[in-house]
Amino acid sequence: MTETPASLGYRMPAEWEPHEATWLSWPHNPETWPGKIEPIPAIFAQIVAALREHEEVRILVGDDALEKSARAALRARGCPESNVRFFRIPTNDAWMRDHGPIFVVQPGRGVAITDWKYNAWGGKYPPYDLDDVVPSRIDEALRLPIFHADMVLEGGSIDVNGRGTLLTTESCLLNPNRNPALTKAQIEERLAEFLGLRNVLWLGDGIVGDDTDGHVDDLTRFVGPNTVVTAVEDDPADENHRALHDNRQRLQAMKDESGRLLDVVPLPMPPPIHYEDRRLPASYANFYIGNGAVLVPVFDHPRDEIACATLARLFPDRRIFPIPSTDLVWGLGAIHCVTQQQPAAAHG
């Protein structure tokens, strides 16, 4: 029988555990942000500037021209390039959370890569051949142990507490456009084998406008071993109200790996943001937890302050960085979607 990460003692750590680095894929595809790609590199530069003081930032660029463009964007932001490294790895798009490696740790063995299949959210946006091999290309640079999982999985579709519990959604992982040959039980088994889990919690539907079929990182996030924040919409007339209410009801009955009920903290939704006639998947839940910082997408609305204050209370030892994301979410993703953490090797 082939050894799995779990059989060797590996686990996926929580996002708030120490990082060695954060990975980004530098934006370059104009089809991702129709008519709006110009401001996107400056937002990425702001992300890099917020993170580089606390951890290395590793950026994928496909060629010299893109690397020069990225360096120019960092200079324009006044961001020093110390603690920033570029890797010559081409990509189709910029969503590192979904096409990047999912790292696992084991105290005696260090860090390893789990490499899942990637099909651009059910084949929606071809080509995705370059993105699908990003984990293997990163492993060529890092020379870490790597485990190949025979299952489609995006990083944004899962969230973990580092103790053995994972959150996900039925609308995404059970969608036939991902793994039609696998049952729910088989999906849970594969997650357990590769990420060191023993408790999978299933939410229902995602938010309106989310082309990923309902990624959990727009809905509900672990902020502690037994604590989650979850997006809420109080207006019954809002089209997100019902799904978010249902997910909150589910959470209030859910238990962690030790059998304790979760502590559920509400996080407001921003007001509706539209591109032409389409509602965009704007959510404060798409924040990213760095070593000394929490990067929060904001949308020029009074609710920004409520979201940031909520996360500041939950992460008192980290600085809150509001990142203006109205232009970024035009591409149907935000801060968490473009980042991927690599845990520190010594922290197993």
What is the set of active-site residues? 337
For the chain, give the number of residues: 348
Strands 263-268, 227-232: pairing kind: parallel
8 Å CB contact between 184 and 172: no
CA distances from 152 to 149, 178, 212, 260, 269 (A): 8, 6, 13, 30, 29
CA distances from 52 to 47, 48, 79, 203, 290 (A): 9, 6, 9, 34, 10
Please give the DSSP secondary-structure letter assigned to residue 76: H
Strands 220-224, 227-232: pairing kind: antiparallel
In terms of C-beta density within 10 A (0-12 exposed, 13-18 middle, 19 or more buried), how is residue 81 classed?
middle
Tokens matching residue 29: 């595809």
8 Å CB contact between 323 and 42: no
8 Å CB contact between 132 and 157: no
8 Å CB contact between 206 and 214: yes
Closest CA relative to residue 207, chosen from 276, 155, 128, 267: 267
Q: What are phi and psi of 118, to 5 degrees?
A: -130, 130
